[in-house]
Structure formats: C-alpha cells, structure tokens
Structure 1
Amino acid sequence: MKKITLLIFAMLLSTLSFSQDIIKLFNRSSDFFEVMNQGKFVEAQAYFDPSVSSKVSVADLQKIWESLNEKLGKFESANSVQSKVNGDVFLVTVEAKFANTTQAFSLAYNKAGNMIGFVIAPNRSDVKYLNPAYADTTLYTEKEIYVKTPGHNLVGMLTVPKNAKNFPIVVLVHGSGPGDMDETLGPNKPFKDLAAGFAAKGVASIRYVKRTMVYSGEFGGVFTVKEEAIDDAVAAVALAGTVPNVDKKQIYLMGHSLGGMLAPRIAALVPELNGIILAAAPARSFTDVWIEQTKYMFDQAKDTTQAMKTELDARLKEMNRTRLTTLGSMKADSTIFGLPASYWVDLNQYKQVEVAKKINKQRIFIIQGGNDFQVSTQDYDLWNAALNKKRNVTLKLYPDLNHLLSSQVEKDAKNQYNVASSVSETLINDIIAWIKSK
C-alpha cells in the first residue's frame, strides 16, 4: 500500500485556543470512520482541508481502509475518547473497534475544523506512565488540596516527606497550554516525577491543575499571563506557607518553560519566596522562541518543496505579528494566533532577564537541557551571560536532557514525547542539594 505521510505541526509552547465545539469535532471524528466503512470515500476525502486533500486521493483512502480491515478484521465501531490542543492543531483520539482488536487513531484538525491529519496512534494501554525508581512511596504521603483565588478552585496535590519537620517546599508552575497537575504529556508526567523525587529526599511540593484546563471558557476574551498563571502561582505560594511542619523560610517556586519565564515576575510579587528555579525557561521573547521551534519542526519534516517553503514563510509572517508591545488602534480582544492582543502586549513588555537581574535577596537556579528542541541552549547562554556573576544565581546545563527534563540520546522532535521517560534523578539530586545549601 502506498505510504501516505500527513504532517502535523505541534507547537507545544503555544496556548492557542479553538473556538469550535469539542463535541462537534468528536462527532465528526466518529462519523469519518462510519463514512469510510460505508465505502463513501469521496465523501471521506471531503473531511480533509483542501491543503491536504490534494495529497490524499479517493483511491488512497480506499486502499487504507481495505488494508485496515484486512489486518485488524471487519470494522465494528468508533468512539472519540480524548482531545488536546497542540499549538494551532486540535487532536482527537479515536478508538476504533475491529473484529480482531481495538486500534487508536489520531485525527488532527485546524482552526477551521477541517481534518489535516489521520494517523494510527499508540493505543492508550500500549504507552503507560513509567514510575521512576526514585519514587519510594514509603517515604512520603500525598493529600488532595485546592489552590483558591476569587471565583476559582483548582484541585492539586500536596506531597510531603513522612516523619519530617521544618522541611522545605516547592510550588510547581506549568508551561504553556492547558495542563493537569502532573503536567502530563503522552505517558510522561514530569511534575509527578518531581514531586516524588523531592519528597523521597525530604522536600515537599504543591502541584495543581492549570486554570486554563478547568476554566477554559474564561479565556475567550481579554486576558494575560496574570490570569493564565501568575495569580494561581501566588495563591499556591501562600498555601505552601500554611502546610503543617513546613519551614516558612524555605519556600521555593519551580517554573517550567513559560512558568520558568514568569518565575522572576512571580518572585517580585511574593517576597516570602526564598528562591526560584527556572527549568527550560525562555530568555528571549516568546515569539523568537516560537519561531525557532517552528523552523526546527519544518526542518524535521525534510520537505524541501516550494509548497512547504511557502507555507513556512506564511506562518512566520503571521507569527511576527505577535511582536506588538502596544495596542495602538487594535482592540484588546483582537486575536493573533488565537490569543488576544492584550496577551501579546503584556508578554512582550515583560523582560524576564532584566527582572531577574534586579533580584538580589532571593536565590535563583537556572537549569536547561541540551536536547530540548522547544527552548534551546541559546536561551541558557543569554541567562548565563546576564546572571553568572550574581552571587545568588546558580546555572547548570544538562547536555542530555529534553524539554520534559528527562535524559535523551538525541534532540528528536518526532517521538520522544510518546515514549515514557522520567525526570532525571541527577537533576532532582542537584535541585535538592541547591535547596539544602541555602
């Protein structure tokens, strides 16, 4: 059978939102399988966006369907079971039941609600979370907590070392996009790993569901990173100070990706923080990092056609529109890449390196992975150049770590997030040592 590759771009740094009804896309995804099963391949081709349908002929779809039925047995039913936003792509996971087995598929949609990708995906039972060796549950306890701000109640987890007193505590702050309390991506749960690794060595932590996941309906108008992340981080730090037996002089905040970028801004609002940890944190503007990531993803596609170059040029031109620092005549709720102008103005006015340079009392630990294709060592170099002479700052580059802080043999954008891996124990040990060196 002819091999058909459908390129799906996953801009993992982005918080872009979709206006279409999730239920509608779920139904559309299930209907696609029914149409294929009825042999209506012309109708099935119409599900695809025009930019993709020209690459997938009616004959191709027929061959794909016949091959699936030959290998998996006669098709019986399809159910949409999961969804997530990756940049400006909406992914729906469909579990299709065939006579011989059940197979997962990933259907990708653009903002217009048109399909741009249809691929076989790992079955949910095939890729499972890998419990790290350092997660010794006999050494800590976990308790459900809530991070509260006016009108919001975010469920979270307090992880505390057993039989300990006067212990430090770390508040974990998400990267971009909606996220659960574990910052789950595929089978990976970096915040869960960090919490277990910290607690096993005597350091407590608080992690919580991100507001954009629970209250997504609030993010359709004017908002900034204040509503997205900062307000809840400040509330979580306040909550950390109320934990029994915690050392109130040893409260830390660890921000990952966008959370790390915002950590200096949060520290300025919360003087009771003893220190901040910036993990894979952009030093450049969000737009610069995003553009670098996009170019890398296009390079990984190894498609040198003029059509692909034209698509990249158009995407970069649109991305550069996000550099605005004032609204001017633009309305605050005008959207660029799904985010309001208010968001871009606020983020572009924030200079995280300059804010960090002004922090003198709170300690700062900056960590970066060399195999991170989302935030590169270029950002680490900028942090290092600006802060390495400050006595309250520690910086460390880990050549093997990726964006999820796990060890990788290469900087691979295609598969590493689909493979279960744990946050580096070396990194956890270094963070613990830094905290205890106070």
Structure 2
Amino acid sequence: MKKTIYSLLLLCTIMSSLNAQVLKRKYSNGFRYQILTAEIKQEKSFNGDQGVFVEGVVPNSTSESAGIKEGDIIVEINGTPIADVSTFTSPPLSEITVGNSVAYKVWRNKAFVQLRTTAKAKVSKTKQGIHYEYGEIKTSFGYLRTLLSKPVNASGKLPAILFIQGNMCESVIELPEKDPYEQFCNEMTLQGCAVMRIDKPGAGDSEGKFTTCDQMTFNQELEQFQTGLESLMKNKTIDSKKIYLFGHSMGGMITPILASTNPAVKGAMVYGTLTTNFGSYYPEIINRSLLQSGNSPDVALEYKNYTKEVITAIFDENKTPQQIIKDKPEYDPVLQQVFGWNEKDNTIIYRSLAFNRELNKIDPKKYWEKVTCPILIIYGTSDFEAIDKEYATAMLGWTNAKNAKHSKAIILEGTDHAFALVGSMEEGIKLKHSGNYAQIMQDKFNPLLVTKTAEWLASF
C-alpha cells in the first residue's frame, strides 16, 4: 500500500512538472529516411527534385497512423516541400506539436497520394538503470529542451556532466539507443554521473520561432550552454562542487570559455576538438583528408589554397559567398563542395555566416590559459577531423599549473571522430565515405572512451 501511494505521488510530481513547462513535446514523424539519390528516383520513376525516401516506419508513430509505408517518397508535409534534413528542424515543421493536424504528400506506385492524421508525441526515453528528466531552459532566443539522465539507485547529490555537442543541428535528445552520443551519455550515467544534454533551437522540442540552429550566432550557442550550466548549479539534486564539462568537436571550443569564466566547474573534458581558430584549422583538415583519401599532394595543396582564399574573403574581407562567386565564378564548386554552402539558407558548413565569423574570432589557447580546473584531452588516432596527437599533449601545457597533476591527455587508438573503432585513419576515411558508416559508428562505439573518462573523474 505504501509503495502504491509513493508511486502515485511520484507520478503526480512528474505530471505537475511537465504541465508547468512552457515546451510541449513535439510530434514524432516516426520514419527512417535517406536523401533521394539518382538510383532511387529512377527505381521509383520519380522526376521531382525534393523529398526523402522512407526506409522504415516506427510503430505507433504519426507516420504509421497516417499510412506511410516503407518505400514511399515523402514530398511534402503540411504543404512544406522536403528539401533536406534542415526542413525537419526548421519552422514550420519543427513547430508541430501533439494534436496538430499533419498532412503528407507521398509518391507511391508512380502516383501522388495524400495522407492525413493527427500528430502523436515522441516517445519518452526509457532505459534500465536510468531515470530521465525532461526539462527546459529559457534563453534570449526562446526555450530549449534539456534532458537530465540520472542513475536510478544513486543516493545523495550527484556529480554532473554538461554535454556540449558538436557543430551539427540535429537533436541530441531524440536519438536511437546505439547512436554514439546516446551511448556515451547513457554509459556515463550508469557510471554514477548525472548528464545534461540541450537541444539547439529548432531541434527536438526546442523552440525555433526566434532563431534556428542553422541561423543562430556563436554567441547565442555559448549562451545556451552557459544557461544550461547555471541550471545544473541550481539543481538541488546535483552536487554543485562536482560539475564537469564534456565538449565534443566544435563543443570543445565552447568548453574552455565556460571553464575559464565559471570557477565552480571542477573539470573540463574535450574530445576531437580544435587548437587554433577555425580559419587556420579548416584548410589543414581539407589538405589532410584529401591526402588520406588517396589524392595527390598537388590536388590536396590546390584545394587547401582555395580554402584559404575563401576563408580570407569571408572572414577578413567580410564578403558573402555570392560576392566571392561574382568576383571568381570558378569558386562556386569550391564553396559548395568544401564549405557546403547552401545558397537558400546562406549557410556554410551547416551554420550561418554570423556564427562562423564569430567562431573564427575564438582563439581556444587564450581561454585554455585561463582555465584553473583539471582538464582531460582525448584524441582518437583515426580522427582526421580533429587536432593532431602532438597538439593533444601540448594543450596540457596551456592551462594553469595549479591543477597540472590532475590534467591528462588520453590517446584512443583506432578511434574516429564519432567515437568508433575503425582501424587506421586511412581505413576510417574510407568507411566514412561508404554507405555503411551510419551503422558502423553505432556498432563500433569504443567503450574505452567511457572507461577512461570515468577513471579520470574518480582520480581527484
């Protein structure tokens, strides 16, 4: 009887918390998809330029209730053409919530089909040994969804990690169980830490009315994680003297800024990050990746120099891609292939020009030199997108000597940017460009990342 009463009280508390929140759970499309290829279009006799190919449908999802089937091509949702993945993370589709009407325009059996249903909520996470708390933070650009995972059997106040993801705009909360981010956050929780994730604007349940991830500035992203850190410090279930940061990739640029300006942070960890500003980093990565992919030194150097010229034009001369192409039309393919320039959204490498210009002003070394807490630098030897092994060790010398004895560099052999065991760097690049990489990075997660991180946290 007492157990029943306790369960009812816990349920009431959870429901009260959810009802008090501004953010509603967004709807679940519930289909796995891939971008259209020429082969798919030919097989399906589809002549359109926009849409996504449905590889599978999730049971009890919005798309299943509408009648979406594997093999369909979804062309529009609520009248919005599906151009690419950003269509799902940008208004108006990113603003659909539970109970809204959803209409699909689908290409099936060489004809268009119209399907309708009512939006269903995304399924909340469950995993044995972990309790998930859906929360929110208020920023100057809207409310953002947070997820705090806690070990079920923990007692007392918990140490906590603020997870700071990389450059991409997808949700870090609405992830499949074997996604590398999901595996890392869950496994660190099972090691005894609370772990907080935050979705960027327009991703997951986060608002995208005032800005979206691809249009936000770097300073806004910095505000997002500063606000998340402050909410952890105020959380009565968290030990405010044991709060750590973990930054992956571009998140490793934010980590030293937060660690240097928040003395309460007990430790700062980064994986696969930068040691220079973006403008110095990117040409080197292009050169390295081309060489490792089997291109000649002359070709790699040529593209490295093209990249430098574009970076100078964008960051130093404040030119737009349109202005660059007007002056030098031959740079159009460079902007599209090397910088992923999207003319419609005016983004490069998935983010706004404002974001990239602010990012380029960040010298990570300047901030690391101000960090007084212990640091953990992690480098995978097959991570061609990140710093070199030598720099990982050199970064230790940048920080305040006060905590040098607790700072450490860890080298994970054969591990790539997505925490996957892929063999050599050359093998990793080949796998990255194979059609199986999405599955590989889920199946080949390196457990040593969790083991070594947990050992370091327990060492001081």
- Name the TM tier (shorter chain): 0.5 to 0.7
Q: Which residue of 2 aligns with 1:64?
A: none
Q: 2:413 aligns with which of 384, 399, 402?
A: 399
Gaps of 5+ in 1: 1-25, 49-75, 86-94, 100-135
Distance, in Å, in 2 between the alignment partners of 1:178 and 1:84 is: 10
Distance, in Å, in 1 between the alignment partners of 2:191 and 2:413 is: 24
CA 1:308/1:371 → structure 2, altered by over 3 Å: closer, same or farther?
closer
Q: How does 1:176-325 map to 2 (within 5 A)?
A: 176-182=167-173, 189-211=179-201, 213=203, 214=206, 215=208, 218=211, 224-227=217-220, 229-299=221-291, 302=294, 314-324=306-316
**Displacement of 1:365:** 1.4
Q: 1:161 aligns with which of 151, 159, 175?
A: 151
**Displacement of 1:359:** 1.8
Is 2:161 aligned against 1:175?
no
Is 2:457 aligned against 1:426?
no
Amino acid at match of 1:174: Q
Distance, in Å, in 1 between the alignment partners of 2:368 and 2:222 is: 16
Distance, in Å, in 2 between the alignment partners of 1:216 and 1:300 is: 42
Distance, in Å, in 2 between the alignment partners of 1:220 and 1:206 is: 19
Q: Which residue of 2 aligns with 1:413?
A: 429
CA 1:220/1:172 → structure 2, altered by over 3 Å: closer, same or farther?
closer
Is 2:361 aligned against 1:349?
yes
**Displacement of 1:30:** 9.9
Distance, in Å, in 2 between the alignment partners of 1:307 and 1:187 is: 40
Distance, in Å, in 2 between the alignment partners of 1:434 and 1:36 is: 52
Task: Answer whether contact 1:182 1:191 (CA < 8 A) is retained.
Answer: no
Distance, in Å, in 2 between the alignment partners of 1:29 and 1:139 is: 39
CA 1:336/1:280 → structure 2, altered by over 3 Å: closer, same or farther?
same
**Displacement of 1:431:** 1.6
Distance, in Å, in 1 between the alignment partners of 2:216 and 2:386 is: 24
CA 1:377/1:98 → structure 2, altered by over 3 Å: closer, same or farther?
farther
Is 2:143 aligned against 1:143?
no
Share of identical aligned residues, percent? 15
SS in 2 for 1:138: coil
**Displacement of 1:382:** 3.9
CA 1:221/1:236 → structure 2, altered by over 3 Å: closer, same or farther?
closer
Amino acid at match of 1:350: I
Amino acid at match of 1:386: W
**Displacement of 1:176:** 0.7
Distance, in Å, in 2 between the alignment partners of 1:30 and 1:328 is: 33
Q: How does 1:80-91 map to 2 (within 5 A)?
A: 80=75, 83-84=84-85
Gaps of 5+ in 2: 1-32, 51-70, 76-81, 87-105, 111-125, 324-345
SS in 2 for 1:211: coil
**Displacement of 1:161:** 1.1
Q: Which residue of 1 aligns with 2:78?
A: none
Distance, in Å, in 1 between the alignment partners of 2:414 and 2:209 is: 35
Moved more, 154-163 or 313-322: 313-322
Task: Answer whether contact 1:357 1:386 (CA < 8 A) is retained.
Answer: yes
SS in 2 for 1:230: helix
Q: Deviations over 1:143-200 (max 9, x none)?
A: 212132234222221111123222201010111121312496x996233112211121
Q: Deviations over 1:404-426 (max 9, x none)?
A: 22322122224344222354322
Q: How many residues align?
A: 331
Amino acid at match of 1:369: G
TM-score, normalization by structure 2: 0.59
Q: Which residue of 1 aligns with 2:379?
A: 368
Is 2:359 aligned against 1:359?
no
Q: How does 1:25-36 map to 2 (within 5 A)?
A: none
Distance, in Å, in 2 between the alignment partners of 1:220 and 1:195 is: 22
Q: Which residue of 1 aligns with 2:103?
A: none
CA 1:409/1:246 → structure 2, altered by over 3 Å: closer, same or farther?
same
